[in-house]
């Protein structure tokens, strides 16, 4: 049983996050290991395993990037290495530009304003990639979707670095 079946959701990128959360709570109540505390050890172990599977499924499906990866894995598409993104010269150039922008922020006149502007740029680009990913998955363009997931992984990493830079500024 895959995670979508577990939560009674259609196997697709877009999902009803409220339905996911509601079903998660219901499954947690039904299969929580504490309910099996008086049962034989084998049943307690199975309850722990079910609860772990439910938790993994919820965590995977609630995050759009991991949900995209999971959908690809259901199709047998392996993402193995981020180096495959390097086959896209336009994205490679964009990566380099974003890295330069991130470096330039440190010496900006108004660092926090530069961080906010760059964050907005990254958010807009990320939203565009997520829209592409949804279309690619819906159209069963598995390899293109895998490339987009790789791009989104880079975007997530870059956004994390930007947040770290912002946190460092707030310490002063």
CATH number at residue 53: 1.10.287.110
Whether 87 and 54 map to the same domain: the answer is no
Q: What are the two backbone dihedrals, phi and then psi, of residue 93, each rounded to the nearest 5 degrees?
A: -65, -40
Counted domains in the chain: 2
Domain assignment present for residue 107? The answer is yes
Q: What is the residue range of 15's domain?
A: 3-62
Is a pLDDT exceeding 90 seen at residue 139? Answer: yes
Predicted TM-score (pTM) of the model is: 0.87
CATH number at residue 120: 1.20.1280.20
pLDDT in tens, 82-103: 555 557 889 989 999 999 999 9
pLDDT in tens, 104-122: 998 899 999 999 999 999 9
């Amino acid at each position: 049983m895959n995670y979508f079946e577990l939560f009674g959701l259609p196997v697709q990128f877009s999902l009803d996050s409220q339905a996911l959360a509601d079903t998660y709570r219901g499954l947690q109540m039904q299969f929580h290991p504490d309910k099996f505390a008086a049962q034989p050890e084998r049943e307690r172990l199975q309850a722990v395993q079910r609860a772990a599977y439910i938790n993994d499924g919820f965590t995977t499906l609630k995050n759009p990037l991991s949900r995209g990866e999971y959908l690809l894995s259901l199709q047998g598409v392996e993402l193995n290495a981020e180096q495959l993104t390097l086959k896209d010269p336009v994205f490679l150039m964009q990566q380099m530009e974003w890295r330069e922008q991130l470096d330039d922020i440190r010496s900006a006149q108004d660092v926090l304003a530069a961080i906010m502007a760059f964050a907005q740029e990254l958010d807009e680009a990320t939203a565009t990639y997520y829209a592409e990913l949804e279309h690619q998955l819906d159209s069963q363009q598995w390899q293109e979707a895998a490339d987009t997931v790789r791009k989104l992984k880079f975007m997530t990493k870059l956004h994390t670095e930007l947040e770290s830079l912002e946190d460092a500024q707030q310490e002063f």
